[in-house]
Chains A and B, each alone.
Chain A
């Protein structure tokens, strides 16, 4: 099998890095995104990354998706030790939008200290964390970037490249959300009308208004919603919208 990395030219300039970042949205698979990220990271003096997508209202590990671009053992250990509940980077990301250097993250408990010192063993000795926020009810993204080299050797370049790294996080966030949405829509066999009806319900249109807008009868709208509700395993249009948002089908 052709190695995906061989498809990516050496990135040795800001222009090439920017060009690579813009290609993230064109990736057709997670493995393609991963290959692109691995070709991009060395330009910034980095070796590892993890991208997390989590729910704003429920920032516990139960609502998380992790895209692993580091030693696989690290994520397994992070999960097993439930470090998500105490991770200072997650706590930072829930309330902030600016990138933060790893050296600026100060542990405030023995548990956090243990977590951060273990992270060093798995390639996160220095680096940066970059939150990404979408709409009010949207999922939050958090990009962890790591290097095994000490902070003074890595972080000055990260600061100079902050805006470009922020663009990486934004592109990953958009790609990840689109992927979650596509999977959910495909899995539920929703068509364009289903999505339109959910959007209209979210925006507060009545059945009569939606029917007028779409050129359908009210009973056609209601029948359609019965099928939508059945697919989402809910009992009402209101809950259908909530479930659709939760699953990523409806992005708000």
Chain B
């Protein structure tokens, strides 16, 4: 078995917060042909639960973040994430106008 190459992607932004004694991490990557957001929940016993969402427009990421059950606790961090990413993500051929759905 030969070591395989890591998938090609660049970390653009990440946030981490302890919520109710669990660690919630969001990482957003630019990939070969789009963007990927990973939501990782690390529970007290070290178990990990990961959701991976591909997106091309910032609105989809916002929906994902806002529907997070811990959103009230991470609202500030989530908004910061969007602020960092908005210039990086283009909706079609135009720069994003408004955010909210």
Q: When the two chains form their complex, are residues B49 and A196 in contact, meaning their CB atoms are under 8 A apart?
A: no
Q: When the two chains form their complex, are residues B92 and A76 in contact, meaning their CB atoms are under 8 A apart?
A: no
**Contact for B36 among A30, A79, A186, CB less than 8 A:** A30
What is the bound-complex CA distance between A191 and B3, given in angstroms? 6
What is the bound-complex CA distance between A7 and B34, given in angstroms? 13
Q: When the two chains form their complex, are residues B49 and A79 in contact, meaning their CB atoms are under 8 A apart?
A: yes
What is the bound-complex CA distance between A183 and B27, given in angstroms? 14
Q: Kindly identify, within residues 1 to 42 of chain A, every residue whose CB is under 8 Å from any CB belonging to chain B.
A: 1-4, 7, 28-35
Say how far A82's CB is from chain B's closest CB, in angstroms.
10
Point out the residues of chain A lying under 8 angstroms from B98, CB to CB.
Answer: none
What is the bound-complex CA distance between A69 and B36, given in angstroms? 12
Interface size on B, residues (CB 8 A): 36
Interface size on A, residues (CB 8 A): 44
Q: When the two chains form their complex, are residues B33 and A32 in contact, meaning their CB atoms are under 8 A apart?
A: yes
**Contact for A186 among B1, B6, B49, B56, CB less than 8 A:** B6
Q: When the two chains form their complex, are residues B33 and A35 in contact, meaning their CB atoms are under 8 A apart?
A: yes
Q: Does B76 contact A (CB under 8 A)?
A: no
What is the bound-complex CA distance between A30 and B50, given in angstroms? 14
**Contact for A192 among B2, B35, B41, CB less than 8 A:** B2
Point out the residues of chain B lying under 8 angstroms from A183, CB to CB.
Answer: 6-7
Across the interface, name the chain B residue whose C-beta is closest to A74.
B67
What is the bound-complex CA distance between A230 and B9, given in angstroms? 27
Q: Does A112 contact B (CB under 8 A)?
A: no
Say how far A238's CB is from chain B's closest CB, in angstroms.
20
Point out the residues of chain B lying under 8 angstroms from A90, CB to CB.
Answer: none
Say how far B44's CB is from chain A's closest CB, in angstroms.
10
Most chain A CB inside 10 Å of its own CB: which residue of B5, B9, B50: B50
Point out the residues of chain A lying under 8 angstroms from B55, CB to CB.
Answer: 31
Q: Kindly identify, within residues 21 to 69 of chain B, every residue whose CB is under 8 Å from any CB belonging to chain A.
A: 31-36, 41, 43, 45, 47-56, 60, 63-64, 67-69
Q: Does B90 contact A (CB under 8 A)?
A: yes
Q: When the two chains form their complex, are residues B50 and A64 in contact, meaning their CB atoms are under 8 A apart?
A: yes
Q: Does A63 contact B (CB under 8 A)?
A: yes
Q: When the two chains form their complex, are residues B8 and A29 in contact, meaning their CB atoms are under 8 A apart?
A: yes
Q: Does B4 contact A (CB under 8 A)?
A: yes
Q: When the two chains form their complex, are residues B3 and A72 in contact, meaning their CB atoms are under 8 A apart?
A: no
With A31-B54, A68-B52, A76-B64 as given contacts, are A182 and B4 in contact (CB-CB < 8 Å)? yes
What is the bound-complex CA distance between A28 and B29, given in angstroms? 13
Q: When the two chains form their complex, are residues A31 and B49 in contact, meaning their CB atoms are under 8 A apart?
A: no
Q: When the two chains form their complex, are residues B47 and A179 in contact, meaning their CB atoms are under 8 A apart?
A: no
Point out the residues of chain B lying under 8 angstroms from A205, CB to CB.
Answer: none
What are 11 inter-chain pairs, A to B, with CB distance below 8 A? A1-B90, A31-B31, A32-B32, A62-B49, A71-B63, A73-B63, A76-B68, A79-B49, A80-B69, A192-B1, A195-B3
- CB within 8 Å of A: which residues of B? 1-9, 31-36, 41, 43, 45, 47-56, 60, 63-64, 67-69, 90, 92
